[in-house]
C-alpha cells in the first residue's frame, strides 16, 4: 500500500486535499498531517511515508529545510498558491507541483505520475529549492533609533544619509532625524556596501539618493540628494567613488 502525509499550515487545505485524495486515489493511505515544518519532519520520521504533499510557505522551517530533512525514500509533491518563480523552476527540473486551488483533473495527473514513480533525484530537488530561496540578507536592514523609551524601528532603505555626531550617529530620513547608538564605523561595516557609501569621515549616504556629484577644483565632490535639500560634501580620499558618475 502506498502511504502519504500532507503538510500545510492551513488546516482547511489539509482537509481539502485529504478529501480529494480519498476520492481520486482510494488506495492511498494518509498517515497523518502536519501544520508546520517541525511537525512535518517529526511525522515523516515516525511514519516513513512514500509520498509527502508539501506546502512551500510555512511558519518556522521553510519548504527547503523540510525537503532536506525528509527521508530520502519519500517522494515530494509541492503545493503552492502562487509562485511564479517556484513554478518556473519546478517546470525546468520536472518536479511535480500543485497549484492552489487544486482541480481534480490536475490532481489526477499528479496521482498518475506518482503511480508511475517519475521522480527526479533528491539532490536535484534540493538544488532547485535552494535556487528558489531568496538569499538572506547579511546586511543591516532595520535600525532601532532614539534614546531611552522612544525607540523606533527604521528600515535602512528610508535612511538618506547617516551623519556622525560626537557620541551618536544621526540617521536622516526624508522628513525626520533619528539618533542611533551606533558609531558610523560600526554602521559602515554592517550596511550593504552596494547601497551605502561612506563619502567622508562622518557621513554615509544611500547611493540611490545621490542625484548629482559635482567636482570642485580641489577634487572634492558636492552631492545633491533626491529627497533632502541639503548637499553633502565628499572629501578627496573618497572621490574615486564618483569618478564615473
Partner 1 sequence: MAESSVVQQLRVFAYTGLFCLAIGSGLTLLADGASLWGNLAVSFAIGWSINLAFVLFEGLFPTSVSPYIKPIPLTAVGLAVGLIIGGYAVSGNPWLFFGNDYSTLALGVFFGVVGFIIFSTRGRLLATQADLAKSIAARERQEKLIAETELKLLQAQIEPHFLFNTLSNIHGLITKNPNVAEATLLNLTKLLRSSLNRTRKSQTTLSEELEIAKAYLDIHAIRMQGRLRYSIEHDPTLDNCLLPPLLVQPLIENAIKHGIDPLENGGAIEIKTGRVNGQLQIAVTDTGSGITDKSGNGTGLSNVKSRLHALYRDRAELVLEDNLPQGVRARLRLPFDEVHR
* Residue ranges binding partner 1 (CB under 8 A): 9-13, 15-16, 19, 35-36, 38, 57, 59-60, 81-83, 99-102, 136-144, 151-158, 174-176, 190, 214-217, 222
Q: Which is nearer to partner 1, 124 or 151 (CB)?
A: 151
Q: From the CB of residue 48, how many other CB atoms can be counted at a distance below 10 Å?
A: 14
Q: Max CA-CA distance within the chain?
A: 83
Please identify, using beta-carbon distances, which residue of 48 and 62 lies nearer to partner 1: 62
Give the H or E element holding residue 212.
Answer: strand 210-215
Least CB distance to partner 1 at residue 153 (A): 4
Would you say 85 or 121 has its CB closer to partner 1?
85
Per the CB < 8 A criterion, the answer to whether 119 and 126 are in contact is no
Place of cell 481520486: 24
Identify the three-state secondary structure at position 56.
Answer: coil
Copy the grid coordinates of residue 183. Answer: 558609531
Give the orientation angle of helix 122-132 with respect to helix 84-93, to 10 degrees: 160
Question: CB of residue 28 vs partner 1: minimum separation in angstroms?
Answer: 18
Residue owning grid cell 504533499: 53
Nearer to partner 1, 107 or 125 (CB): 107
Q: Give the closest residue to 24 by CA, choosing from 132, 109, 108, 90.
A: 108
C-alpha 178/C-alpha 152 separation (Å) is 9
Give residue for cell 565632490: 221
**Degrees to nearest 5, angle at CA 113 with 36 and 1:** 70
Beta bridge partners of 232: 223
Closer CB to partner 1, 87 or 93, in the complex? 87
Spatial separation of the C-alpha atoms in residues 223 and 238, rounded to whole Å: 12
- Closer residue to partner 1 (CB): 118 or 226: 226
| 11 vs 115, beta carbon nearer partner 1 | 11
Amino acid at each position: 500500500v502506498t502511504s502519504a502525509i500532507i503538510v500545510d499550515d492551513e488546516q482547511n487545505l489539509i482537509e481539502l486535499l485529504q478529501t480529494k485524495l480519498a476520492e481520486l486515489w482510494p488506495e492511498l493511505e494518509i498517515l497523518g498531517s502536519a501544520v508546520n515544518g517541525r511537525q512535518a519532519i517529526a511525522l515523516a520520521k515516525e511514519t516513513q511515508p512514500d509520498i509527502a504533499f508539501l506546502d512551500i510557505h510555512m511558519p518556522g522551517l521553510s519548504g527547503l529545510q523540510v525537503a532536506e530533512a525528509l527521508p530520502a525514500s519519500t517522494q515530494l509533491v509541492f503545493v503552492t498558491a502562487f509562485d511564479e518563480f517556484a513554478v518556473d523552476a519546478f517546470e525546468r527540473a520536472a518536479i511535480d507541483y500543485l497549484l492552489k486551488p487544486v482541480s481534480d483533473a490536475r490532481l489526477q495527473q499528479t496521482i498518475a505520475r506518482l503511480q508511475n514513480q517519475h521522480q527526479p533525484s533528491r539532490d536535484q530537488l534540493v538544488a532547485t529549492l535552494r535556487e528558489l530561496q531568496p538569499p538572506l540578507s547579511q546586511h543591516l536592514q532595520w535600525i532601532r533609533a532614539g534614546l531611552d523609551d522612544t525607540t523606533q524601528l527604521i528600515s535602512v532603505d528610508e535612511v538618506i544619509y547617516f551623519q556622525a555626531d560626537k557620541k551618536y550617529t544621526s540617521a536622516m530620513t526624508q522628513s525626520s532625524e533619528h539618533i542611533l547608538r551606533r558609531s558610523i564605523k560600526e554602521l559602515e561595516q554592517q550596511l550593504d556596501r552596494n547601497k551605502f557609501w561612506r563619502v567622508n569621515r562622518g557621513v554615509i549616504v544611500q547611493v540611490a539618493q545621490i542625484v548629482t556629484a559635482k567636482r570642485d577644483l580641489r577634487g572634492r565632490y558636492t552631492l545633491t540628494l533626491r529627497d533632502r535639500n541639503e548637499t553633502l560634501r565628499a572629501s578627496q580620499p573618497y572621490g574615486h567613488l564618483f569618478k564615473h558618475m
